[in-house]
């Protein structure tokens, strides 16, 4: 079975691939109407079909910007959970009370501020989970710029399918927008940071919303950044607490090298340094030992000044000491105001937790009466 979305500008396909592990039926209650051609109950319960009884993996090969890889992350499960927490045990009682079951509508995505749109592919997955007969068309794609007042997509039903599409659209609306607004906010800030940081590359961190690790990091990629490690499993990152517990930075590096060698593991290794002395200790260890170290983090070597400027002389000194023997990453005091100056020091990467932990959602709406929505938007300076 495949999820396909028709589009005026692109065509997306997400084949479901079987896994060796069983995936239990969800029994999620979304609250669709009763008079569909599928003869569903009064509040239709959406369950996985027999052909999908195993855990689905989603293939994103057709996407221009693919989500990052994760061995255990269940994106389909995240979508189901988001819909389930909204539907509760009754479904959408307001829809059931106010919208005729055979109502067909067309709803339009409306940008209420300028930014970078992200989450289009994820939105289509949400619509498909609620109602596979819905069609989605876009004039933009993930990573494109949108401006206030722009109608950049629409969702509607297929006349050959069962009724109840108005219900389906309204039920999916908030979950779709929650994902899109957050992802677009992350992508918008990332694009601004990435442009200013050049020639350095901008990275996020693990400071993501719980349960949304892949979603947040996907948004960073859409915005033009690069991903730091996905979690604790895919990169060794020796931070200050590891160093303190190990009895020093040299001991920590020795322990990591021994651990990887004994297990025949090959992965990137990064160590955090906070002083020039620690940088020299790392370089001394690497000069006399075969090490798996690949990157040195230069933490809080950007010093704030009283005039809102920053002093990057310590960072520059550290970069010059390392002399491209290892990748370098600046961290700490990274803002839109400071990132350009940091990027000019010769550092390879700049990491910012603010990309995901302090995200401002981009204002996007989904409207059936777009003319009235635009009138209200203009009145409130949001369209």
Give the residue numbers marked as catalytic: 174, 207, 239, 272, 299
Helices within the chain (DSSP H only): 75-87, 93-98, 120-130, 165-197, 213-222, 240-246, 249-263, 276-288, 313-322, 339-343, 354-357, 370-379
Phi/psi for 85 (5° steps) reads -70, -25
Tell me the C-alpha distance between 55 and 26, whole Å. Answer: 11
Question: Which three-class secondary structure state does DSSP give residue 249?
Answer: helix
Separation CA 93–CA 196 (nearest Å) = 48
Task: Provide the pairing of β-strand 12-17 with 201-203.
Answer: unpaired
Give 74-81 contacts, CB < 8 A, sequence gap 24+.
75/122, 75/125, 75/214, 75/215, 76/125, 76/129, 78/211, 78/212, 78/214, 78/215, 79/122, 79/125, 79/126, 79/129, 79/175, 80/26, 80/28, 80/129, 81/211
The CA R_g of the chain, rounded to the nearest whole Å, is 24
* CA neighbor of 222 nearest in space, from 4, 7, 58, 63: 63
Question: Beta 57-58 vs 12-17: how paired, if at all?
Answer: antiparallel
What is d(CA 160, CA 132) in angstroms, rounded to the nearest whole number? 12
Q: Return the H-helix or E-strand segment holding 191.
A: helix 165-197
CA distance 112 to 364: 6
% helix / strand / coil in the chain, to the nearest 5? Answer: 35, 20, 45
Locate 225 and state its tokens. 């950044």
**Tokens linked to 114:** 């300028």
Phi first, then psi, for residue 200 (nearest 5°) are -70, 155
Which residue in 234, 243, 90 sits closest to 171, CA to CA? Answer: 90
- What is residue 122's three-state secondary structure? helix
């Amino acid at each position: 079975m495949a999820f396909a979305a028709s589009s005026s500008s692109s065509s997306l396909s997400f084949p479901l691939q079987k896994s060796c592990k069983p995936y239990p039926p969800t029994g999620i209650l979304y609250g669709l109407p009763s008079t569909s051609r599928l003869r569903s109950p009064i509040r239709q319960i959406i369950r996985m079909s027999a052909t999908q009884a195993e855990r689905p993996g989603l293939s994103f090969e057709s996407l221009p910007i693919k989500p990052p890889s994760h061995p255990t992350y269940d994106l389909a499960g995240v979508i189901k959970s988001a819909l389930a927490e909204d539907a509760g045990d009754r479904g959408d009682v307001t829809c059931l009370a106010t919208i005729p079951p055979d109502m067909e509508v067309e709803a339009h995505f409306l940008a209420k501020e300028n930014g970078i749109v992200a989450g289009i592919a994820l939105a289509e997955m949400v619509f498909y989970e609620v109602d596979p007969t819905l069609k989605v068309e876009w004039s933009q794609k993930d990573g494109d710029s949108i401006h206030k007042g722009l109608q950049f997509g629409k969702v509607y039903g297929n006349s050959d399918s069962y009724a109840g599409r108005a219900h389906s659209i309204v039920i999916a609306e908030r979950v779709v927008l929650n994902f899109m607004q957050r992802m677009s906010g992350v992508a918008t800030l990332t694009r601004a940071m990435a442009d200013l940081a050049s020639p350095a590359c901008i990275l996020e961190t693990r400071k993501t919303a719980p349960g949304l690790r892949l979603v947040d990091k996907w948004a960073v990629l859409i915005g033009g950044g690069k991903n730091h490690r996905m979690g604790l499993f895919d990169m060794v990152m020796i931070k200050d607490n590891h160093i303190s517990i190990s009895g020093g930075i040299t001991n920590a590096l020795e322990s990591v090298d021994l651990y990887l060698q004994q297990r025949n593991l090959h992965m990137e290794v990064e160590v955090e340094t906070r002083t020039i002395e620690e940088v020299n200790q790392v370089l001394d260890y690497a000069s006399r030992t075969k090490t798996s170290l690949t990157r040195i983090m230069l933490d809080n070597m950007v010093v704030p000044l009283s005039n809102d400027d920053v002093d990057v002389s310590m960072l520059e000194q550290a970069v010059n000491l390392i002399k491209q023997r290892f990748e370098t990453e600046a961290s700490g005091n990274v803002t839109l105001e400071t990132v350009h100056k940091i990027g000019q020091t010769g550092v390879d990467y700049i990491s910012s937790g603010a990309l995901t932990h302090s995200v401002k959602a981009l204002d996007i709406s989904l409207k059936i009466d777009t003319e009235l929505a635009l009138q209200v938007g203009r009145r409130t300076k949001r369209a």
